[in-house]
Chain A
Amino acid sequence: MKRAFQGLRKSRLVAASAGLVLGLAAATACHAANEIVIGASLPLSGPLAGFGKYQQWGYQTAVDDANKAGGVTIDGKQYTFRLIVRDDKTDPNVAASNTETLISRDKALVMLGSCTPALVNAGALVAERKKVPLVTGCDPLGAFRSVRKWHYVWDIFFDEAELSEAVFKMMDDLGVKTDKTLALLHDNGPDGKVVGGQIWPALAKKYGYKIVQKTEFPVDNMQFTTAVSELKSKNPQVVLVDAITPQAVSIRKQMAAVGFVPKVLDMEKGAEPEQFAKAAGKLSDGVLVGAYWDPSFKYPGASQLSKRFEKETGLSVSQHIADSHAAANVMIDAIIAAKSLDRAQINKAIAKTDKVYVVGPVKFDQTNTSKLPIAMSQWQDGKPVIVWPRDLATGTYIQPK
């Protein structure tokens, strides 16, 4: 009797649990009828998490502001926007499957992009195939264009050729005195190979620099003792690095360990987020990185967005809050302009974008790209300072110590 009662209780418990699970699953898949779901797959963990958290804030802030402003009215019906973010763990395969899930299960009407070519392109290919509009603000334009002719995916970012050249232009323009010896250290990721393996060597030749060392390494490599020993021995005065943050920190610390200090040190990608300056400490002083946005730029809302981010999060600002905020607003503006939930109509409205956003002017060309102007930022006392071009500079160039 007791056993039968226990069996009954057990079966009820199983049924109740199954019901709860089904209910939760249904709840996650269904949204209010008056919501427009905007999906985004972002690197919230893994090596690129330093970018993802800023993008998430930028996307969410734009969505919240749009909702506060009343959302959008389509065919007499009021809609609000809802952002659903999934973590792609810095894995392109996960970025692709997240995009599938966001569109099919989460019913995302439109999408916003991840960060870096590998992640953005992986998700973008899914969105393109499903004819779902996707706007991204974190995919260098050359890498974006090289994938295919895009119809439903739009990219607002810098051109890597311009970014790669910025450090050479800066040295020329500011009259930084070096003996024109140069070393290149870059990872073997898609953009590392292009920037470090092709663009920088060509630019070094163009600007009259002699390459004394060229080192390529896997993206996840952490030990650089041989490479820095070579740097110490060959003593180039200009060192250009293309690596993600953990590797950039490791390289900078190992340079200091052998007592090597170049006159110019540019660390693209890895030196961009604030975590680089925190992890490298004093060693971040003087490290350059290409920039496309700073709160000091005279774009509408730039300074306010920066202050708001710092107030809400307690963190120092990153330029990724601006590109993500702008990408989300381009998408929201397009939905409002299209006055339709039809993806093709929204896509047409994106194509017509011609407005100055917080990140700068946005107007797409035939390749679905909108180029942002480039500046050079430098870490000084743990803060990013724009040192070039002169008309945008918020500080003076210093040499690494």
Chain B
Amino acid sequence: MENVDIVINSLVSGVLLGGVLALAALGLSIVLGVMGLVNLAHGELLIAGGYLMVFVMQPLGLSSLLALPLVAVLMAALAWPLQRYMLQPLADKPPESAMMTTFGLSIVLQNVYIMLFHADTRSIQFGNGVSSIQIGPVGFGRIYLIGFVLSIVVILAVHFLISRTAFGRDLRASASDPVAAAVNGVDVRRVHGWTFALGAACAGVGGVLIGSIFAFTPISGATYLLNAFAIVVLGGLGNIFGTLVGGLLLGVLQSLGGLMLGDGYRDLVGLVLLLLMLALRPQGLLGRKGG
């Protein structure tokens, strides 16, 4: 049995990281739930957030917290045309057409990042987030706590947006039955455009936090996409709070996996969970059966 301090520290870090991972997965969940689109370029959108922070916000001298909403807005602005001109024309085609388009987009984006930013390893200096917080025997990075709190705030804000606003009503209607929504006057194409932009905005913010805690390169997106899929499946497709629960659960279980098997087996834990959930409860923890 591991030292108790190590177990407690790992679990606390797991919970905090889980919150950040949940935010990183939120965009994927929304896009999948509303548009039925498996966005294989989600990892690259995360990384785009990191690059925007390093190459646009920080050179402008903006504080990290102030820069985050700007990253979100910029990401939404960049993502909207992608949906409008690349994915929307495929709306009438089988779903794999759009999925394969996002796969192609992910490869294009990786190469664009290499051309623009070189293949160097980057990491974001998020204010004084690098310092440590010590509570008794438990120590964790300030950035972990900042990331966790920000994730909760963003997830609650997105939940409010979807459950309490006119846009949210249209979005839920489009997700439930796009044809009926269109008949009732909802501009489904517009909703899909804004949904993709919202997903990209969440991914951008998640990418900044991921890039602050870890490091990233132009090809790091795939690693985080895998975690995001596991979280979305765990929590339930398109379920906002399910994504949070999935993230926290994955964070804790990955920490337990790391404790028992070593840090190198964290992703294995995530993949096993993904397969188990798909086999036993494909609708996810908070998802409804058949919907």
Chain A interface residues (CB < 8 Å from chain B): 44-47, 49-50, 52-53, 188, 215-218, 220-227, 229-230, 232-233, 245-247, 249-250, 253-254, 256-260, 273, 275-276, 278-283
Q: A254-B213, A279-B121 are in contact. List 8 more A-B contacts (CB 8 A).
A: A49-B114, A225-B263, A229-B13, A247-B215, A253-B130, A257-B139, A273-B120, A275-B121
Closest CB in chain B relative to A268 CB, distance in Å: 16
A49 to B214, CA, bound (A): 18
Q: Which of B125, B141, B219, B262 is within 8 Å of A257, CB to CB?
A: B141
Q: Which residues of B contact A233 (CB under 8 A)?
A: 3, 5-6, 9
CA distance A388 to B9 in the complex (A): 37
Q: Tell me which residues across on chain A come within 8 A of B14, comparing CB atoms.
A: 225
Binds A, one of B82-90, B152-160, B253-261, B279-287: B253-261
Q: Is the CB of A230 within 8 A of B121?
A: no
Q: Which residue of B lies closest to A280 (CB)?
A: B123
User: If the complex has contacts A45-B219, A249-B123, are A256 and B262 also in contact, measured as CB distance less than 8 A?
Assistant: no
6 A-B pairs closest in CB distance: A257-B141, A49-B119, A259-B132, A226-B258, A229-B9, A249-B215
**Contact present for B264 and A259 (CB under 8 Å):** no
> Please, which residues of chain A bring their CB within 8 A of the CB of B262?
215-217, 226-227
CB distance from A124 to the nearest CB of B (A): 23
A279 to B125, CA, bound (A): 8
B263 touches A226 (CB 8 A): yes
Q: Are B140 and A258 in contact (CB under 8 A)?
A: yes
Candidates A45, A227, A245, A280; contact of B218 at CB < 8 Å: A45
CB-based nearest B residue for A249:
B215
* B220 lies within 8 A of chain A by Cβ: yes
Q: Are B258 and A257 in contact (CB under 8 A)?
A: no
Minimum C-beta distance from B10 to chain A (A): 5
Closest to A220 in B: B223
Distance of A224 Cα from B14 Cα, bound (Å)? 11
Interface residues of B (CB under 8 A from A): 2-3, 5-6, 9-10, 13-14, 17, 114, 118-123, 125, 130-132, 134, 139-144, 213-220, 223, 254-255, 258-259, 262-264, 266-267
Q: Are A215 and B263 touching (Cβ within 8 A)?
A: yes
Contact A223 B6 (CB under 8 A): no
CA distance A232 to B132 in the complex (A): 12
Q: How far is the CA of A255 from the CA of B5 in the complex (A)?
A: 15
Give CA–CA (A245, B114) in the complex, Å.
16
Q: Which residues of A contact B142 (CB under 8 A)?
A: 257
Residues of chain A lying within 8 A (CB to CB) of residue B132: 256-259
* Complex-state Cα separation, A254 to B130, whole angstroms: 9
Measured CB to CB, the closest approach of chain A to B117, in angstroms, equals: 11
Residues of B within 8 A of A253 (CB): 123, 130, 141, 213-215
Q: Which residues of A contact B266 (CB under 8 A)?
A: 221, 223
Indicate which residue in A215, A222, A258, A278 contacts B223 across the interface (CB closer than 8 Å). Answer: A222
Find out whether the CB atom of A224 lies under 8 angstroms from the CB atom of B263: yes
Of the residues B120, B123, B259, contact of A226 by C-beta under 8 Å: B259
Cβ contact within 8 Å between A216 and B121: no
Inter-chain CA distance A44–B114, complex, in Å, is 9
Chain A residues with Cβ below 8 Å from B143 are 257
How long is the Cα–Cα vector from A47 to B219 in the complex, in angstroms? 8
Q: Which residues of A contact B5 (CB under 8 A)?
A: 229, 232-233
- Using CB atoms, name the residue of chain A closest to B218: A45
Q: Roughly how many angstroms separate A230 CA and B214 CA in the complex, as a whole number? A: 18
Please, could you name 22 A-B residue pairs with CB atoms under 8 Å apart, sorted by A? A45-B114, A45-B119, A52-B119, A217-B264, A221-B263, A221-B264, A222-B214, A222-B223, A224-B263, A226-B259, A226-B262, A227-B262, A246-B216, A249-B215, A250-B214, A253-B123, A259-B134, A275-B121, A279-B121, A279-B215, A280-B123, A283-B130
Tell me the smallest distance from the CB of B110 to a CB of chain A, in Å.
8
Q: Please state if A46 and B219 are interface contacts (CB–CB under 8 Å).
A: yes
Q: Which residues of B contact A224 (CB under 8 A)?
A: 263
Q: With CB as the reference atom, state the residue of chain A lying closest to B115.
A: A45
Q: Given the complex, which residues of A lie within 8 Å of B258, measured CB to CB?
A: 223, 225-227
Name the residue on B nearest A44 (C-beta): B119
Q: Chain B residues near A276 (CB, 8 Å)? A: 121
Assembled-state Cα–Cα distance A249/B223 (Å): 16
Are B120 and A49 in contact, with the CB atoms below 8 A?
A: yes
Chain A residues whose C-beta falls within 8 Å of the C-beta of B9 in the assembled complex = 225, 229, 232-233, 258
**Nearest Cβ on chain A to B229's Cβ, whole angstroms:** 16
Question: Given contacts A223-B266, A246-B217, A258-B139, is CB(A275)–CB(B120) below 8 Å?
Answer: yes
Contact status A47-B217, CB under 8 Å: yes
For B220, the chain A residues whose CB sits under 8 A away are 222, 246
Bound Cα distance A224, B131 (Å): 17
Instruction: State whether B6 touches A218 (Cβ < 8 A).
Output: no
Q: Is the CB of B140 within 8 A of A53?
A: no
Partner of A279, one of B2, B3, B122: B122
- Which A residues are in CB contact (< 8 Å) with B219? 45-47
A223 closest partner in B (C-beta): B266
Q: Which residues from B are CB-within-8-Å of A46?
A: 119, 217, 219
| Most B C-beta atoms less than 10 A away, residue of A216, A220, A229 | A229
Give the Cβ gap from B179 to chain A, nearest Cβ, in Å: 39
- Residue from A220, A223, A280 within 8 A of B17 (CB atoms): A223
A230 to B213 CA separation, bound complex (whole angstroms): 18
Residue of B nearest to A227 (CB): B263
Cβ contacts under 8 Å, A45 to chain B: 114, 119, 218-219
A229 touches B215 (CB 8 A): no
* A50–B141 touching, CB < 8 Å: no
Q: State A233–B123 Cα separation when bound (angstroms).
A: 26
Return chain A residues, CB-CB under 8 Å to B3: 230, 233
B20 to chain A, nearest CB (A): 11
Enumerate chain A residues within 8 angstroms of B10, measured Cβ to Cβ: 225-226, 229
